[in-house]
Chain A
Amino acid sequence: MSHPYRQQGNEAFWSRGVAAHDPRDINPALPAPFTLSPRDKIVTAGSCFAQNISPRLPGMGLHFLVTEPAHPIFPAALAARFGYGLFSARYGNLYTARQLLQLCDRVYGMFQPREDVWSGQDGAWIDPFRPRIQPRGFLTAQEYEADRDRHFAAVREAFETMDVFIFTLGLTECWRARADGAVFPLCPGVAGGVYDPARHEFHNFTVDEVMADLLRFIDAIRRRNPACRFIFTVSPVPLVATARRDAHVMVASDYSKAVLRVAAQMAVAQREDSAYFPAYEIITSAATPHYFAADQRSVTPAGVDHVMRCFAASFTGHSAPRESFQAHDATMDRLARMEEAMRVDCDELALDPDYPHHTPLPSGRDAPI
């Protein structure tokens, strides 16, 4: 007897697509609608889980485009503390689709939030839209403004030159300004600013809102960069806290993820050259290994590895040189050489036989006038 399931592949059946595999080898990602080549410039953004994706792209032979890199004089760990290298530009975590759309509107001058600076400790200037991008905020108004100008230019460059954009949706819950709807990544008062119920309100985005924001973003980018392709994922990391009064954090978290998951699917269905990648499913499925750390929230490295193996299988098959790391390595080598030269220089000064009136330097000897 014939029926549609007879034409389905193994992946359509739980027994063959899931149960038949070692849990570490389950790959729920079907072949992607497009593939990535080493020449494709990839821009990443999204919630904290998205930070796991960027550093692994070069190792997969892919070109992680960074338009706002740290200067190579800084060690990588310090650069990361200042928000460099986590994503293609220094925008910090973009948890919601509205944040992403808002960033796009801001860098092209379509939206200028009224509340665009917060006060931090010791007079520091805090960017409300990336409040933890610097541990203590910006030290002066001049620096804050110059850095924001540079940041916007870097984001524009990323948006206009990228071939592929990967966005990891993280949250539906947000805090926004009542005056103009500007959304903040963190509630005012958490990392700068002052929470004021007269000025700030809680909002939990719906499926329709998230989908509409994603579509508006895709359209806005394609007006400037028509060939750009999009990959959406949903972060498997649960909410750290909910602002809802009517739901346990576990329930609020599942609701948010469900909204994001559906919205991503609906957006992808409406735009060509866009894809959904099931990172969320790989990590949260009961069929795969338990990939959460002891806090039941952080994803383990093994989980990230599983996600990226599946990502590579779906989207790649090529290798590429790691140009993005060469500049940094060269500068670190130079600084090491200079440190040695400085040591030699200082030693030489102390021992310089050509210096006028040279005598060996005394150690602890009186030299009375």
Chain B
Amino acid sequence: MSRSYFLMGRSHLTALWYAWHNQAEAGGPPPQPYAHAPLVAPGTRMTFLQLESQRYEPLFTPEGAFHPEVGRALATSAAQIHVSVLGGNDHSMIGLVAHPPGFDFVLPDEPDLPLDRQARLVPAEMLREELERRIAPHLRALALLRAAVAGRVVHIESPPPLPEDHIRRHSAPFADEIAALGIAPALLRYKIWRLHSGLYREACARLGVDLLPSPLAMRDPSGIMLPFGCHPDATHGNALYGGHVLKALLEFTA
């Protein structure tokens, strides 16, 4: 069946674009290491709008609309399905580096996860509000996207936190902070990511947007990204990860 997608977003869009681009260049079934995430879907078309460009700055007009070029791209889009990869790294602002003093919180969706009693307890609601403040521009963009197009809109959950060893090897541009303070415990980073995802989940429900979770196959049992899904930096997924997301997207929208 022929389907067309319009994907827009920022840095996390890149992994998806590379997965799709590599496959397109190969001209057929994707080569290794994409064998685990075949994207064979004849007739499928994908259009990518990478907002991480000065061309689209500022993203919002003073009247609260999208940048005119983004507005035009959406107005002329004939895609059946529009996909948001907007935002998604704000959990790392708080969760990547071990901001002193050490802290922890009770994740409302999974309150029985271990709690570090030696760390400073912070209220989940307070952390939620801080994340809410940080992701507000992305949710605003998501709402504009929803309002701009007819048909189905899907938002893709941001990649899970990356493993500590990987971050340590690819710590730039956070190298100074990480060297000075260390990396936050994996469980804390996972909890913050979940809290962050919960805010997008709620926004999606309010806006009538479907949420596509990050692929379980790319996470270890503790919810951290598997090493082979990591881009050589501290926060992003790579093309293999992107391939898994695209595969999941095709299934989700089948």
Q: A134-B123, A363-B55, A366-B45 are in contact. Are A357 and B25 (CB under 8 A)?
A: yes
Chain B: minimal CB distance from A227 (Å):
28
A residues 119-142 in Cβ contact with B at 8 Å: 134-136, 138-142
B154 in the interface (beta carbon within 8 A): no
Contacts of A355 on B, CB cut-off 8 Å? 18
B58 in the interface (beta carbon within 8 A): no
In the complex formed, the residue of A with least CB distance to B17 is A361
A30 in the interface (beta carbon within 8 A): no
Q: A341-B173, A356-B239, A365-B48 are in contact. Are A349 and B14 (CB under 8 A)?
A: yes
Chain A: minimal CB distance from B225 (Å):
15
A71 in the interface (beta carbon within 8 A): yes
Chain B: minimal CB distance from A252 (Å):
35
B89 in the interface (beta carbon within 8 A): yes
A74 in the interface (beta carbon within 8 A): yes
Partner among B18, B39, B97 whose Cβ is within 8 Å of the Cβ of A338:
B97
Chain B: minimal CB distance from A73 (Å):
5
B residues 116-165 in Cβ contact with A at 8 Å: 117, 120-126, 129-130, 133
Contact B99–A334 (Cβ < 8 Å): yes
Contact A345–B235 (Cβ < 8 Å): yes
In the complex formed, the residue of A with least CB distance to B180 is A334
Partner among A82, A339, A350, A367 whose Cβ is within 8 Å of the Cβ of B93:
A339
Contacts of B14 on A, CB cut-off 8 Å? 349-350, 361
Contact A146–B115 (Cβ < 8 Å): yes
B210 in the interface (beta carbon within 8 A): no
Contact B47–A367 (Cβ < 8 Å): yes
Contacts of A338 on B, CB cut-off 8 Å? 93, 96-97, 174, 177
Contact B121–A367 (Cβ < 8 Å): no
Contacts of A140 on B, CB cut-off 8 Å? 106, 108, 111, 124
Contact A369–B23 (Cβ < 8 Å): yes
A residues 54-87 in Cβ contact with B at 8 Å: 70-75, 78-79, 81-82
Partner among A143, A365, A369 whose Cβ is within 8 Å of the Cβ of B105:
A143
Contacts of B96 on A, CB cut-off 8 Å? 338
Partner among A139, A356, A361 whose Cβ is within 8 Å of the Cβ of B50:
A361
B24 in the interface (beta carbon within 8 A): yes
Q: A74-B130, A342-B93 are in contact. Are A139 and B73 (CB under 8 A)?
A: no
Chain B: minimal CB distance from A317 (Å):
34
Contact A141–B48 (Cβ < 8 Å): no
Q: When chains A and B are docked, how far (Å) is the Cα of A74 from the Cα of B131?
A: 10
In the complex formed, the residue of A with least CB distance to B4 is A366
In the complex formed, the residue of B with least CB distance to A136 is B125
Q: A140-B111, A349-B14 are in contact. Are A361 and B125 (CB under 8 A)?
A: no
Q: A134-B125, A369-B41 are in contact. Are A362 and B50 (CB under 8 A)?
A: yes
In the complex formed, the residue of A with least CB distance to B129 is A78
A344 in the interface (beta carbon within 8 A): yes
Mark contacts of B225-254 with chain A using CB atoms, 8 A cut-off: 1 yes-contact digit, 0 otherwise.
000000101111001000000000000000
Contact B92–A342 (Cβ < 8 Å): yes
B21 in the interface (beta carbon within 8 A): yes
Chain B: minimal CB distance from A21 (Å):
46
A244 in the interface (beta carbon within 8 A): no
Q: When chains A and B are docked, how far (Å) is the Cα of A344 from the Cα of B172?
A: 10
Contact B53–A363 (Cβ < 8 Å): yes
Contacts of B231 on A, CB cut-off 8 Å? 349
Contacts of A337 on B, CB cut-off 8 Å? 177
Chain B: minimal CB distance from A366 (Å):
5
Contacts of A134 on B, CB cut-off 8 Å? 123, 125-126
Chain B: minimal CB distance from A40 (Å):
24
Contact A78–B130 (Cβ < 8 Å): yes
Q: When chains A and B are docked, how far (Å) is the Cα of A136 from the Cα of B10?
A: 33
B residues 77-99 in Cβ contact with A at 8 Å: 89, 92-94, 96-97, 99
Q: When chains A and B are docked, how far (Å) is the Cα of A140 from the Cα of B191?
A: 15
A331 in the interface (beta carbon within 8 A): yes
* Most chain B C-beta atoms within 10 Å of own C-beta, residue among A74, A79, A357, A361: A361
8 new A-B contacts, CB < 8 A, other than A361-B50, A361-B52, are A140-B108, A142-B111, A346-B89, A356-B18, A364-B73, A367-B21, A367-B24, A369-B23
Q: Which residues of B contact A (CB under 8 A)?
A: 10-11, 14, 17-18, 20-25, 39-42, 44-50, 52-53, 55, 73, 89, 92-94, 96-97, 99-101, 103, 105-106, 108, 111-112, 115, 117, 120-126, 129-130, 133, 173-174, 177, 231, 233-236, 239
Q: Which residues of A contact B (CB under 8 A)?
A: 70-75, 78-79, 81-82, 134-136, 138-143, 146-147, 150, 327, 331, 334-335, 337-339, 341-342, 344-350, 355-357, 359, 361-369
- What 7 A-B pairs are tightest by C-beta distance, nearest first? A346-B11, A143-B106, A140-B111, A341-B173, A139-B108, A142-B111, A350-B52
